[in-house]
């Protein structure tokens, strides 16, 4: 056949040339060439399976393996030349050696990389929490000051979310590590956990890609929320933390500004990944059975998401390990009104039901506001107009350290509870690092 299609894997049926724009539109090589190493690994296993099945001779197998090693060498040295006719990564290698590939190998390895980065971030957070365990700051709900907490308690709240992400990633790895060519051959050397039991499903299902994209969306949700808190805490109004210059930028107009660009970019990258996830699900939802060219979108979504999460985890670790805490500013932000719940607890300890005690504490807050004084400045006499149960011992309530120490149950913000969380994470991190 005279046409260029004669050299394509599918060219025999076609007459005439493809529109060059269509050829470019159809090709996936530009982004899936990243899988060259996984492709060669899969191809080597495949040719060994063919030899075992008697479909190629020992000599042919050795020639192909030698050729694959040569291709590996060319890729690793950056010498491999992609030609216009190469549609995707396995066609590019098949131009030389006629073998197949598998994207699951690539994702399986990159999942390990992301897990390591996530564990590094969690470890950084845990050790920071251990060092700064004595620092108190306001806790917030609805963006309003709520109750005093340990700064470490805030750090660990985000570490807990990330630890769920690590565990979810391990589950996804099991779903990724299924041999899709299991319907044809199975190679122990590729270390797949299981094989696909149906070839029609194997060619068309991309659940593992969708799961990875959702995982990334969830992980970046957690990191975006943490970034949002830190952006607020770094403002002059809060002044709880200061980012180092390495993770900040200046203003092109206002010399005094120090912008938390690293955190803002973490926040924005979450939106980028959500788009990839939603877009790919839209691609999947209307497909008929088995393989359709629409699935070419899988690798670009997967690679872009991997690159984004890979960068975000590293930047987040850098920010957390280098930010400076302004302890005096955090403690200045503590105010007696944050101890109104403690005031209610005092009455509960004296036998009053909490519903009634909550109402009494609310009345005390109202008195303080109407007199324009701190809650702690209300006289015992004024408090007794609210409830006769109030006495001189009310003075013990106005102590922030005492307040946090009463929350000593598991998961609380008392020193013992936060220490237990730190120890839990150290043990958990050790166990994670020992997993294969």
- Tell which CATH classification among 1.10.40.30, 1.10.10.60, 1.20.140.70, 3.90.1580.10 matches the domain 336-405: 1.10.40.30
Contact present, 215 and 168 (Cβ < 8 Å): yes
Residue 121 corresponds to which tokens in the numbers above? 């971030």
Q: Which of 141-150, 182-191, 337-346, 369-378 has the lowest mean pLDDT?
A: 182-191
Beta-strand relationship, 144-150 and 178-179: unpaired
**pLDDT, tens digit (0-9, with 9 covering 90-100), for 375-423:** 999 999 999 999 999 999 999 999 999 999 999 999 999 999 999 999 9
Q: Where in the chain is the domain with CATH 1.20.200.10?
A: 106-332
pLDDT category at 81 given cuts 50, 70, 90 is low
Please provide the CATH number assigned to the domain covering 4-97: 1.10.275.10
61-66, Cβ contacts within 8 angstroms, sequence gap of 24 or more: 64/97, 64/99
Helices 89-97, 58-76: axis angle to 10 degrees equals 130
DSSP conformational letter for 259: B
Residue 73 corresponds to which tokens in the numbers above? 């060498």
pLDDT of residue 290: 83
Catalytically active residues are 142, 251
pLDDT category at 295 given cuts 50, 70, 90 is confident
Residue 204 pLDDT > 70, yes or no?
A: yes
**pLDDT, tens digit (0-9, with 9 covering 90-100), for 25-38:** 555 555 566 776 77
317 Cβ partners below 8 Å, 6+ apart? 117, 120, 121, 124
Contact present, 389 and 331 (Cβ < 8 Å): no
Please tell me which residue, 434 or 16, carries the higher pLDDT value.
Answer: 434
How many other C-beta atoms lie within 10 A of the C-beta of residue 48? Answer: 17
Whose tokens are 């909550």? That residue is 358
How many other C-beta atoms lie within 10 A of the C-beta of residue 94? Answer: 18
Most confident segment among 11-20, 58-67, 385-394 = 385-394
Cα–chain center distance at 118: 7
Q: Where in the chain is the domain with CATH 1.10.40.30?
A: 336-405
Residue 93 pLDDT > 70, yes or no?
A: no
Q: Where in the chain is the domain with CATH 1.10.275.10?
A: 4-97
Cα–chain center distance at 134: 28
Phi first, then psi, for residue 296 (nearest 5°) are: -60, -25
Which residue intervals of 286-371 are DSSP H helices? 297-322, 327-332, 340-349, 354-370
Task: Report domain 106-332's class.
Answer: mainly alpha
Residue 324 host element (H or E): strand 324-325
DSSP conformational letter for 249: B
């Amino acid at each position: 056949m005279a046409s260029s299609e004669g050299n394509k894997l599918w060219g025999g049926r076609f007459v005439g040339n493809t529109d060059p724009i269509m050829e470019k539109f159809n090709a996936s090589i530009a982004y899936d060439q990243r899988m060259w190493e996984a492709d060669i690994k899969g191809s080597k296993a495949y040719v060994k399976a063919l030899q075992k099945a008697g479909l190629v001779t020992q000599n042919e197998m050795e020639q192909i393996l030698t050729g694959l090693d040569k291709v590996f060498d060319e890729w690793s040295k950056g010498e491999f030349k992609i030609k216009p006719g190469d549609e995707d990564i396995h066609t590019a290698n098949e131009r030389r050696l006629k073998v197949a590939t598998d994207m699951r190998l690539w994702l399986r390895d990159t999942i390990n990389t992301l897990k390591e980065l996530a564990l590094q971030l969690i470890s950084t957070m845990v050790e920071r929490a251990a060092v700064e365990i004595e620092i108190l700051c306001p806790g917030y709900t609805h963006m309003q000051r709520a109750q005093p907490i340990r700064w470490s308690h805030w750090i660990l709240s985000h570490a807990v979310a990330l630890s769920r992400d690590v565990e979810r990633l391990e589950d996804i790895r099991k779903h990724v590590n299924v041999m899709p060519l299991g319907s044809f051959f199975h190679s122990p050397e590729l270390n797949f956990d299981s094989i696909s039991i149906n070839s029609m499903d194997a060619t068309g299902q991309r659940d593992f890609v969708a799961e990875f994209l959702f995982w990334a969306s969830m992980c970046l949700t957690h990191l975006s929320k943490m970034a949002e808190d830190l952006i607020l805490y770094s403002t002059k109004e809060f002044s709880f933390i200061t980012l180092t210059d390495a993770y900040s930028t200046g203003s092109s107009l206002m010399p005094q500004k120090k912008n938390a660009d690293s955190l803002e970019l973490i926040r924005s990258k979450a939106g980028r990944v959500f788009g990839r996830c939603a877009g790919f699900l839209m691609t999947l939802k209307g497909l008929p059975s088995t393989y359709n060219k629409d699935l070419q979108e899988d690798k670009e979504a997967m690679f872009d998401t991997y690159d984004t999460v890979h960068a975000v985890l590293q930047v987040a670790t850098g920010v957390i390990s280098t930010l400076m805490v302004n302890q005096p500013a955090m403690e200045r932000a503590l105010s007696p009104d944050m101890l109104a719940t403690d005031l209610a607890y005092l009455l509960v300890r004296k036998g009053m039901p909490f519903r009634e005690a909550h109402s009494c504490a609310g009345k005390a807050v109202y008195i303080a506001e109407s007199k324009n004084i701190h809650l702690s400045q209300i006289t015992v006499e004024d408090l007794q107009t609210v409830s006769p149960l109030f006495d001189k011992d009310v003075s013990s309530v106005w102590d922030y350290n005492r307040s946090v120490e009463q929350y000593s149950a598991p998961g609380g913000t008392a020193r013992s509870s936060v220490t237990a969380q730190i120890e839990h994470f150290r043990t958990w991190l050790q166990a994670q690092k020992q997993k294969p």
